[in-house]
C-alpha cells in the first residue's frame, strides 16, 4: 500500500494496487459479506465455507471479521455477551467466527483478522492526539472510514487470491454504518472486478400460510441499496428448499442475477455447509462475478468428514463441567474439537453439559454415565469447587479426564489437596493471601520459586499469557503418545501458572510433568501416574483442532473414553 491518509490518497493507494506491477500483490479480490433480516443466520460459517470452496479449487484465501461493537476486543466480554474468545497464534483475542475461519480453511488468523469499532476509533483518536491530522476536524467520513479501509487493505499484503471480509451485525444497525460506508467506498476505489458484495438473508416459511415469504429479503436489500450497496450475490437461508419461482422473484425485486440467488438450507452438520453451498452454485456465482476461471473444487475431504459424522460406528459420552453451560457458544471451539476427535475414530460424541454449581450441591448425576470428563478454561471462583469435585470423581474412578487451562489448574489443586496432603492448596486467583497457592500469578514468585509481592495497584495488565508458545514433551507419557513429537506449539489465554515451588512435592506424590517450556520455567502439561488417561494442559488445544486434522489430545481423549466404555 502507498500509506495514504486522506480519502484521495487512499483511493490512489487502491488504484496503484490495481494497476502497478510493483505493488505487493495486485490481484487480490475482496468479497464483503453482510447479513440482513435477523442475526445468527451463520455469516461466519457461510464465509468460512466459501473459503473452503475456494481452497478446494487451489486458490489462496485470507479472511477478516469487522465487528461493530465499541469494545476494543472481546477479551473483557462475558461469554454470555458474545460467546467464547478465540485466540490467534500471535496472541490476539478475537471474535469466535475466526475459529470457524481456521477450522474450515488452512489459514492462520492474526491481529489483522479482526477489527472492532473500538479498535478503529482508538487508532483514529490516537492519531488525532499526535497531531497527525494537522488540525483538521476529525469526522466519521473520511477519517473513520479511511481507517477501516486501511484495515481491510492490510489483507492484500498476505498475497492471497481472495480476501473474505465479514461485516458483523445486521444491516440497519446504526453501529454497522461506518463499516458499510467503507466497503461502499471500496467498490468505488477498486472497481467491480475486484470487489463483490455477498448478502446473507432469511427467507422464512410461514406455516399458517403454507408458503415462503421473500419480503424480508427485499426490505433488507432495499436497506443496503439506500446506503449505496447493491448486492452481487444473495445467499438465502431457509428451513426448506426455495422454489425456483421464488428465487426468480427475489432476483427481480432485488436486482440480482437469477443464478446469483443461492439457497442456503439447514444441514445436519456445519461441515456439510461447503457441500451445500457448492451444490447451490455459490462458488460459481462469485467466480463468474470476478470473471475468473470456473474450475471444479475437490471436495473429497469434506465428503469424507460428513460421511464419518453421519455414519458413526459407536457413541461416546463426555461430561463437560463448566459454569456457562446454558450458552453453548461459550465453549464453541471445544465442542467442535470433540466432534473432530470423534471423527478421528468414526464415533459420535454426545456432550452432556454439567453445571459445576450443581455438583457443589453434591448433585453428581451428570457424571455417572460419562465415559470421559472434561473441565474447560475459565476465569473466577464461581463453580470451582464443583469442578474440583468432578476432577476428583474422574481421578478416583479411573475415568478419562481432559483439563484445559483452568481445568489443569484445578486438577493441580485437587491433587495437592487429596493426594499430596496440602489440604488448603488453592490458587491466588481465589485467595490473594493463600498460604499454599499451588497456582498463582506469574508475578508472584521468581522463576526459582522464591515468593515475591504482587503489585499493590491490582492491575492485571501484562500478566496474561496469550498466543502460541513452544512446549517440550516428556517421553513415555500419554501426551507424548498422542503427539508423537518432542516439541509442540500451542495457544494460551490465562494469567495464572503452576507454582514451581510445589513441583517436587507434587511429583513425589505421583504427578507427572508431561510438558514444560523449553527453558523449563513453566509447567504446561500434567498427568497422573497411576491413572488410565488423565491429562491436563495450561494451553487451549481446541483452538488449532480441525475436522480434517483433529487435535491429538482430543482424538486420544475420545479414544481413551471409548476404551473406558468398553471395559
Residue pLDDT, tens place only, 96-148? 999 999 999 999 999 999 999 999 999 999 999 999 999 899 999 999 999 99
Residue pLDDT, tens place only, 470-527? 999 999 999 999 999 999 999 999 989 999 999 999 999 999 999 999 998 899 999 9
Torsion sign (Cα): 343, 347, 349, 350: positive
Query: β-strands 534-537, 523-528: how paired?
Result: antiparallel
540 assigned to active site: yes
**Candidate list 84, 263, 490, 542, residue with the active-site label:** 542
- Residue 564, pLDDT above cutoff 70: yes
Residue pLDDT, tens place only, 337-353? 999 999 999 999 999 99
User: What is the pTM (predicted TM-score) of this model?
Assistant: 0.90
Question: In the chain, what's the furthest Cα-to-Cα distance?
Answer: 75
pLDDT at residue 475 in the model: 97
| CATH architecture assignment, domain 312-566 | 3-Layer(aba) Sandwich (3.40)
**Candidate list 405, 490, 497, 564, residue with the active-site label:** 405
3-class SS string, 318-373: EEEEECCCCCHHHHHHHHHHHHHHHHHCCEEEEEEEEEHHHHHCCCCHHHHCCCEE
Buried b (16+ CB within 10 A) or exposed e, 509-527: bebbbbbbeeeeebbbbbb
What ranges do the domains of the chain cover?
Answer: 7-302, 312-566
106 assigned to active site: no
CATH of 7-302, one of 3.40.605.10, 3.40.50.300, 3.30.930.10, 3.10.20.30: 3.40.50.300
What is the pLDDT confidence band of residue 381, given thresholds at 50, 70 and 90?
A: confident
pLDDT at residue 18 in the model: 38
Tell me the C-alpha distance between 350 and 318, whole Å: 6
Return the CA Rg of the chain. 25
pLDDT at residue 453 in the model: 33
**Candidate list 112, 289, 540, 564, residue with the active-site label:** 540
3-state secondary structure of 459: coil
Those residues with Cβ within 8 angstroms of residue 430's Cβ, 6 or more apart along the chain or in another chain:
381, 384
What is the pLDDT confidence band of residue 158, given thresholds at 50, 70 and 90?
A: confident
542 assigned to active site: yes
- Residue 291, pLDDT above cutoff 70: yes
Residue pLDDT, tens place only, 61-87? 999 999 999 998 888 887 777 789 999
Amino acid at each position: 500500500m502507498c500509506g495514504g491518509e486522506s480519502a484521495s490518497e487512499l483511493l490512489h493507494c487502491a488504484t496503484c494496487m490495481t494497476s502497478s506491477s510493483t505493488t505487493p500483490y495486485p490481484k487480490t479480490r475482496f468479497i464483503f459479506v453482510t447479513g440482513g433480516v435477523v442475526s445468527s443466520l451463520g455469516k461466519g460459517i457461510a464465509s468460512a465455507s466459501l473459503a473452503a470452496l475456494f481452497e478446494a479449487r487451489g486458490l489462496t484465501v485470507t479472511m477478516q471479521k469487522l465487528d461493530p461493537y465499541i469494545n476494543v476486543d472481546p477479551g473483557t466480554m462475558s461469554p454470555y455477551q458474545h460467546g467464547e474468545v478465540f485466540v490467534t497464534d500471535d496472541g490476539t483475542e478475537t471474535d469466535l467466527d475466526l475459529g470457524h475461519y481456521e477450522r474450515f480453511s488452512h489459514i492462520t488468523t492474526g491481529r489483522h483478522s479482526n477489527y472492532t469499532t473500538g479498535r478503529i476509533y482508538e487508532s483514529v483518536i490516537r492519531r488525532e492526539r499526535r497531531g497527525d491530522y494537522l488540525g483538521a476536524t476529525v469526522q466519521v467520513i473520511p477519517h473513520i472510514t479511511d481507517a477501516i479501509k486501511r484495515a481491510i487493505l492490510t489483507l492484500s499484503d498476505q498475497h492471497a487470491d481472495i480476501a473474505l471480509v465479514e461485516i458483523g451485525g445486521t444491516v440497519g444497525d446504526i453501529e454497522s454504518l461506518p463499516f458499510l460506508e467503507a466497503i461502499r467506498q471500496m467498490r468505488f476505489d477498486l472497481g467491480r472486478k475486484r470487489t463483490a458484495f455477498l448478502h446473507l438473508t432469511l427467507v422464512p416459511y410461514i406455516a399458517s400460510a403454507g408458503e415462503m415469504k421473500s419480503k424480508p429479503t427485499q426490505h433488507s436489500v432495499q436497506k443496503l441499496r439506500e446506503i449505496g450497496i447493491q448486492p452481487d450475490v444473495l445467499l438465502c437461508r431457509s428451513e426448506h428448499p426455495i422454489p425456483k419461482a421464488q428465487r426468480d422473484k427475489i432476483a427481480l425485486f432485488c436486482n440480482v442475477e437469477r443464478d446469483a440467488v443461492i439457497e442456503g438450507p439447514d444441514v445436519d452438520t456445519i461441515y456439510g455447509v461447503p457441500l451445500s453451498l457448492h451444490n447451490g452454485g455459490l462458488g460459481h456465482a462469485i467466480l463468474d462475478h470476478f470473471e475468473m476461471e470456473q474450475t471444479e473444487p475437490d471436495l473429497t475431504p469434506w465428503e469424507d468428514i460428513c460421511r464419518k459424522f453421519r455414519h458413526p460406528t459407536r457413541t461416546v459420552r463426555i461430561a463437560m463441567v463448566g459454569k456457562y453451560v446454558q450458552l453453548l457458544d461459550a465453549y464453541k471451539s471445544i465442542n467442535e474439537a470433540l466432534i473432530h476427535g470423534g471423527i478421528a475414530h468414526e464415533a459420535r460424541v454426545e456432550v452432556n453439559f454439567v453445571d459445576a454449581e450443581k455438583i457443589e450441591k453434591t448433585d453428581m448425576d451428570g457424571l455417572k454415565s460419562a465415559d470421559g470428563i472434561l473441565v474447560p478454561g475459565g476465569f473466577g471462583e464461581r463453580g470451582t469447587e464443583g469442578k474440583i469435585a468432578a476432577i476428583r470423581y474422574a481421578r478416583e474412578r479411573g475415568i478419562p479426564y481432559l483439563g484445559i487451562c483452568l481445568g489443569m489448574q484445578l486438577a493441580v489443586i485437587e491433587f495437592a489437596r487429596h493426594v499430596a496432603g496440602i489440604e488448603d492448596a488453592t490458587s491466588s486467583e481465589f485467595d490473594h493471601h493463600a498460604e499454599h497457592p499451588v497456582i498463582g500469578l506469574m508475578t508472584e514468585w521468581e522463576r526459582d520459586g522464591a515468593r515475591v509481592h504482587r503489585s499493590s495497584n491490582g492491575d492485571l495488565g501484562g500478566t496474561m499469557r496469550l498466543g502460541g508458545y513452544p512446549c517440550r514433551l516428556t517421553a513415555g507419557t500419554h501426551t507424548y503418545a498422542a503427539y508423537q513429537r518432542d516439541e509442540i506449539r500451542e495457544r494460551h489465554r490465562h494469567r495464572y501458572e503452576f507454582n514451581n515451588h510445589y513441583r517436587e512435592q507434587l511429583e513425589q506424590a505421583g504427578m507427572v510433568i508431561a510438558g514444560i517450556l523449553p527453558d523449563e520455567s513453566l509447567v504446561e502439561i500434567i498427568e497422573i501416574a497411576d491413572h488410565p488417561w488423565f491429562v491436563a494442559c495450561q494451553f487451549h488445544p481446541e483452538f488449532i483442532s480441525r475436522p480434517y486434522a483433529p487435535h491429538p489430545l482430543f482424538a486420544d481423549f475420545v479414544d481413551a473414553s471409548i476404551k473406558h466404555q468398553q471395559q
